[in-house]
Chain A
Amino acid sequence: MPATRTLDPAAVRADFPILSEPVGGQPLVYLDNAASAQKPERVIRAVDHYYRHQHANVHRGIHELGRRATEAYEDARARVAAFIGADPDEVVWTRGTTEAINLVAGAWGIDSLDEGDEILLTTMEHHSNIVPWQLVAARTGARLRYLEMDDEECLRLDMLDEVLTDRTRLLAVTHVSNALGTVNPLAALIEAAHAAGALVLVDGAQAVPHMQIDVHALGADFYALSGHKMFGPTGIGVLWARRELLEEMPPYHGGGEMIRVVRRESSTWADVPHKFEAGTPNIAGAVGLAAACDYLTEIGMDAVQAYEHEVVRYAYECLSAMEGVRVYGPRDPANRAGVVAFTMDEAHPHDISTVLDSRGIAIRAGHHCAQLVMEHCGVAATARASFAFYNTREEVDRLVQAVEAVRRIFA
């Protein structure tokens, strides 16, 4: 394996069947990857193969298919764990990032927090890293505090001393902002939180598709991710947590597979990670996600990151040079991954999106489940172009031409 690989966009595009699908009679320019990424042939085939040849319930049957399904499922866990630098028994399957965060909120938060304890969030968070903590705060009497953003939509580390207190029990922070693309300085945040005696949960949904993640090197306590944003199936994701935390935490859902012995009045729990996996899991989803990880490993996350960096920088430069266009988030491309969000003086983001759609370009318009970000930016909505490694400079050119067309209509 060469030390630094380069990515051939034409070759990787050929791996994604939907990218050659015309939309409205035009070639598709898919720039809504932060909402959900497309699936390579490898993932589609892995799911298909699983259902054709391996399916039964897992960890139950003694029969041959049950063995095959269990093997595929646990092998998938090991491969996904390896992809993020984790041990397999620290990897809990969830429906996605949202459920992973709700698991920590429900199992750790409800159980560990008391009145007066503080949960530190940031105004950059996706609603899925805010609302679960509001529910926990309402149940436990814990208090929510927020780390604010500066005028480049980067977190204000200068505020840390003020908002991290001896009552802070948890810092819940996104690795990469879904609404802005801001890459947060996790090392500094984790160090400060740990020094204050707080645990750290990282929402990694928007980071894993764009950069190599090593959860042990990162040093957080919880890391959550979604399969569908990293080219895997929908309905599967991962909560990674330090093993001793998983051991200490009570179960989240009760049911089959998560127990050791069930008696009339009480039960004992299976070992981690199965303690947190009640009910028949999304086996095909796990298999598909592992295939996505294998695929990304073959392309090389270093190549993905280097290639995407150039395309995103080009998009940022083109859009921010346009008159009447305001781009949000960090100006330094080193602090940005995957997203260029913008507004136009004359046209509402919804109108931008409709005109772009008529030219085969898919972006998202709205608040991006990040209303605190919109509040900070002083807008109700933005237009967001979000990238994956299969997007090209030519697609950025088509985006820019379409934004010009929006201006011609609305100017």
Chain B
Amino acid sequence: MAQTHIDALYQRLILDHYRNPRNKAALARHSVEASRCNPVCGDEVTVQLVVEEGRIARAAFTGHGCSISQAAASMMTDVVRGLDAAEALRMAERFQAMMTAPGLPAPGPEDPLGDLRALQGVSRFPVRVPCAMLAFEALRDALAGVGGTPCPPVH
């Protein structure tokens, strides 16, 4: 695996979202929330949405895990703000398509994926794709009104 793939995977923007996550907070008031866990590694993301007049007024997350899962959650919560449910789900599909098709042309600067475009390099690491998808899976569960599948408590 070429070093260039590793460089593409751990771009500065991804590491910045990992170290300085946006929207990382437990909201006192939210409309829906859902948690997702990757049982293989224990990575966990809980997504909370404040929905006003049919649109996502605010998205926030809590969780822990690797740089990819946490950066993706940070980026996702930025990107879905202002979208309605159908638009947010289309965003999830767009992101998933990018994750599962390595070698696609890089999305342009105008692409609605925004900072999430930086995660395109993950598509060359199939075992890491579930990390990148974790926040969107929680988002889908939250929009569907189901609570998701959090990691069960260890105790």
Contacts and interface: CB of A to CB of B under 8 A. Distances in A.
Given A24-B1, A348-B67, A380-B64, A358 B6 contact: yes
Contacts of B10: 351, 355, 409-410
A375 B154 contact: yes
Interface in B10-34: 10, 15
A381 B41 contact: yes
A348 B1 CA distance: 20
A350 interface: yes
A410 B11 CA distance: 10
A365 interface: yes
B15 A380 contact: no
Interface string A329-361: 000000000000000000111110011011000
Given A24-B1, A358-B3, A375-B154, A348 B66 contact: yes
Contacts of B65: 348, 350, 380
A122 interface: no
B66 A350 contact: yes
Contact of B66 (A351, A358, A374): A351
A351 B1 contact: no
A25 B3 CA distance: 11
Contacts of A410: 10, 15, 67
B6 A355 contact: yes
A366 B131 CA distance: 13
Contacts of B42: 366-367, 374, 380-381
Contacts of B64: 380
A305 interface: no
A4 to B, nearest CB: 42
Question: Which of A351, A355, A375, A410 gathers most chain B CB within 10 Å?
Answer: A351
Contacts of A380: 41-43, 64-65
- Residue from A374, A380, A409 whose CB has the most chain B CB atoms within 10 Å: A380
B15 A354 contact: no
Nearest to A347: B67
A129 interface: no
B90 interface: no
Nearest to A409: B10
Contacts of B68: 350-351
Interface of B: 1-3, 5-6, 9-10, 15, 40-43, 64-68, 125, 127-128, 131, 154
Interface of A: 24-25, 347-351, 354-355, 357-358, 365-367, 371-372, 374-375, 380-381, 409-410
